[in-house]
Structure 1
Amino acid sequence: MQTGSQQSGYYIKNLESGKIELYFSKSEYKALSTEARKKIKSYFLFSSSKAAWISKSSQNTSWVEEIANSIGLIYKGTEGEKISFGEKVELASQKAASQAERFKNRAIHLENQSNQLFANSHNMVSCIPVGQPILVGHHSEKAHRNLLNRSWTMLGNAVKTSERADYYQQKAKAATYTASQEQLNNPAFLNRRIEECKANIRKQEQNLSNSTSENNKRIYLERIAEQNDKLTFYTDKLIAMGGIKYTKENLKLQRVSHIFYKSKWYPLKSLNTKSVTVINWLDLAGWTWNVPYAEIKGIKTLDQDFKVLDRNNEEVKPTIKYK
């Protein structure tokens, strides 16, 4: 539903950004209680171009909608065109690529600045012979002390500038990783996101069935739609990669004895619906751990001669039984 002309005393949801926008006059804002104004400043940012308060986050907007309702604002529907989760991921990737370039350039600039400060600090005292003490009472005492203090201050600034360069290098690295979308080529990552979406959908469906408020029902339906959009995106990505390589059926068929998980081999105890149970967790024979099928990186079968040792250097054999 599209909103009409802007007027005070209402709020909308921007479908493109996923954020809540509050519209009311300055006099109405001043008339609010101190606590209400504090909440608005905590969860919203004022946009002078829109003359509106816009929620800081697009996630879990029910809380900010509660704030809007608590101050008497009327819900006026939606605005803009909704973009899919896949489009949001692509936009985030493009933004991250742009940020990575800016962060890299900033890091290079700061590192050069730091190097120059280090050089200046050294050159400043290069005229003083090595080991030359301050001559207390001599006419050079004050100049000597001031020169050392200035050099030391400049050296400190060089260190701080170098630390800032490291900070931007780390931000550039993180932004580069986001831009690469590398995690979307990881079946384990995709499977975790799929399970999260399914769990969130079940939770919101339960909330919907228990709700008596029409406004809350609308919110729960929106959340279900968002989670279904994410679920479709992650599922399509996983299917494009060939799906999950190892499943309960093919592990059982191959009579698997050991699995490779996070750089280590583990003996099998059982095959479950969504995971396998392994033993010798943390190199302790009696300890177990559940590993999702999507996170298995390799297998060994019962007909292969393969051994795993615990921390006492004793062999730990798989306990799984096949019919």
Structure 2
Amino acid sequence: MRTYTINADSKAVLNFDKSDYTNLSREEKQEIKKYFLFSRWSKAWVSKGKYINYSVQEVIKKFNFEFKGKEEVRTFEESLEKKIERAENRVERFEQYAKNATKRAEILQSDFNKYRKDWSWLTQPYMNTSGGRSFRNHKEGVMRRYDKGFEEYKKSDYFLDRAATSQETAQQNQYLDPIYIQRQLIKVDKEIKDLEKYLPKASETINKIEEEEQKEKKLLRLEFFFDSLKRKNQEKAFLLVKLNELIENGVKVFDKKTLKNAFYIKSRGVWRKVKSVNQKTVTYLSYGKYYAKVPILEITDAVYKGDVFKIETHHLQDAFIITRMETPPIF
């Protein structure tokens, strides 16, 4: 029996017997593979797209898959926990792959490491005799295995790099960076605004459709976007919590209001004199006659009237080195 469900990631999951799949023609198998990937974990075919698009729906209709329900969509934090869990599993798996590759390399190179201590074995010429040909074949086999050992060491390095990348994913250090969080907030706010603008119009358009089959397809897609809006709001709340935690721990976060009375700002390790503050950027003098802008998100420090500091020139024109001091400056 052919059935399908919608999983927690809003993807279609096709379930049918292996014998049923085997009996399909080559063209039918290719059509399924075009829009679905086989998951060994769930032992089913999972759609490639982020949501059930029209192509996926056509495959479901063509092969007569019966709908068997929908899983509850994961919240943003649940998805993040799942992502961390998978990354941690990848770390363990890649580290084991690296150990196995290193072990294979040591075994492959063990014969040469043993024979190279004997200088006569390394320098002995090949003789055109039965014993000489036998020695030549043996030595060439040892050298081939020795070369293959280096390939295994390269595999080990590759798996260690993959493990390091997965470790970074598992640690989620990006949520300790206020610049990253603020950029993500801007991105999420835009996506929420676009969805809130799109969904009412889409709902109104779908209600005018009279053909039931087409209306059902549109509603299925619309449901995905309602779930997306819910997740984006959850992501925004999560990012705001992380940003507030950083501020409570002493991390400086600036905006137009806090930079209104700033004299100097620090960005990319250099201090600049403020000319004006805009909604998203700060304008400063560059090369004596030009004005340049820096995003407020990239500002890491600021100096205000009443702050105690010493100012020195920088090797970059119109840039400064500022050191905070105990005696007040004269403005």
Alignment equivalent of 1:18, drawn from 4, 10, 17:
10
In the TM superposition, 1:89-238 aligns within 5 A as: 89-129=80-120, 132=123, 134-211=125-202, 212-213=205-206, 214-215=218-219, 216-238=221-243
- 1:231-265 deviations in whole A, cap 9, x for unaligned? 22222221222276222222222x2323132x454
The correspondence for 2:259, drawn from 251, 266, 274, is: 251
CA contact (8 A) 2:12 2:52 kept: no
| CA distance in 2: counterparts of 1:156 and 1:207, whole angstroms | 60
Instruction: Give the share of equivalent positions with the same residue, in percent.
Output: 20
Amino acid aligned to 1:290: V
Matched residues in 2 for 1:178 and 1:51: separation?
Answer: 26
The amino acid of 1:256's aligned partner reads: F
Q: Give the 3 Å change call, closer, same or farther, for CA 27–95 of structure 1 in structure 2.
A: closer
* CA gap 1:119/1:256 in 2 versus in 1, 3 angstroms: farther
Deviates more, 1:88-97 or 1:152-161: 88-97
What's the CA shift string for 1:78-105, capped at 9, x where partnerless? 5233331112212322332233233223
Tell me how many residue pairs correspond in the alignment.
297
**Amino acid in structure 1 at the alignment position of 2:294:** N
Deviations 1:107-130 (A, max 9, x none): 233224323433322324544527
Give yes or no for contact 2:5–2:12 (8 Å, CA) kept in 1: yes
Q: Taking structure 2 as the reference length, what is the TM-score of the superposition?
A: 0.72
Q: Is the aligned partner of 1:45 residue 2:4?
A: no
Cα displacement (A) at 1:133? 5.1
Distance (whole Å) between structure 2 residues aligned to residue 77 and residue 308 of structure 1: 68
Return closer, same or farther for 1:201/1:69 CA change in 2, 3 Å cut-off.
farther
Deviation at 1:266, TM superposition (A): 4.9
Amino acid at match of 2:13: E
Deviating 4+ runs (over 6 angstroms): 24-33, 48-51
2:83 & 2:110 partners in 1: Cα distance?
Answer: 40
**Contact persistence 2:109–2:149 (CA under 8 A):** yes
For residues 54-100 of structure 1, what are the alpha-carbon distances to aligned partners after superposition, in whole Å with 9 as ceiling and x for unaligned? 2246xx3143x542246526895852333311122123223322332
- What per-residue deviation string (whole Å, max 9, x for no partner) do you get for residues 155-176 of structure 1? 2111111111111211221222
Give the conservation status (yes or no) of the 8 Å contact 1:47–1:53: yes
Structure 1, 73-82 or 231-240: larger mean CA deviation: 73-82
Identify the residue that residue 316 of structure 1 maps to in structure 2. 318
Structure 1 residue 316, shift from structure 2 partner: 1.6
**2-side partners of 1:135 and 1:47: how far apart?**
54
Q: Does 1:298 align with 2:301?
A: yes
Contact 2:282 2:295 survives alignment (8 Å): yes
Deviates more, 1:168-177 or 1:76-85: 76-85
Q: Normalising by structure 1, report the TM-score.
A: 0.74
RMSD of equivalent CA atoms: 3.8
Q: Which residue of 1 aligns with 2:51?
A: 61
2:10–2:52 contact (8 Å) kept in structure 1: no
Is the Cα contact below 8 Å between 1:125 and 1:151 reproduced in 2?
Answer: no
Query: Which residue in 1 is equivalent to 2:325?
Result: none
Q: Find the aligned partners of 2:10 and 2:89 in 1 and give their Cα distance.
A: 22
Gaps of 5+ in 1: 1-6, 319-323
Give the residue type in structure 1 aligned to 2:264. S
Question: Are the aligned partners of 1:270 and 1:276 in contact in 2 as well (CA < 8 Å)?
Answer: yes
Contact 1:45–1:54 (CA under 8 A) maintained in structure 2? yes
- Cα displacement (A) at 1:269: 5.2
Inter-CA distance 115–239: structure 2 relative to 1 (3 Å threshold): same
Letter in 1 for 2:57: A
When residues 52 and 174 of structure 1 are mapped into structure 2, their CA distance, relative to the original with a 3 A threshold, is closer
Check conservation: 1:11, 1:68, Cα contact below 8 A.
Answer: no
